[in-house]
Amino acid sequence: MEKSELYFSYAMWLVIFLCVKFLFDYISKKTSNLGKLLAGTILPTWFLLAVIWFIKDLSYNNVMPDFIFKLADTLPQILFIGGITFIYKYRKFKNKFKAQ
């Protein structure tokens, strides 16, 4: 693995973290339903990450990758990094919600 690929993966972790954080903050102002919060943060982040990986592979490798495979490739990152971020934000949100 080249260093540029490693740095790109780290940058994607940052994108996942920031996207989940900002989407959670935005959606939690409208609803406190766990299902809506989860779907509204994880699914758009997953789609965005797959699009970024698709564009990267298309531009660097000059091949037409299959988008469905990019969705499958990015799912573990979303579930791990995005899931940890979501759980942290949700617990913090619920504790703040209980205090009021």
Structure tokens at 85: 């971020």
**pLDDT at residue number 6:** 86
Per-residue pLDDT of the chain (100 residues; tens, 9 = 90+): 578 888 888 999 999 999 999 999 999 999 889 999 999 999 999 999 999 988 888 887 777 778 888 889 899 999 999 999 999 999 999 888 776 6
**pLDDT at residue number 64:** 75
CA angle in degrees (0–180, nearest 5) for 17-44-34: 80
**pLDDT at residue number 99:** 64
pTM of the model: 0.86
Q: Which helix (H) or strand (E) holds 47?
A: helix 34-61
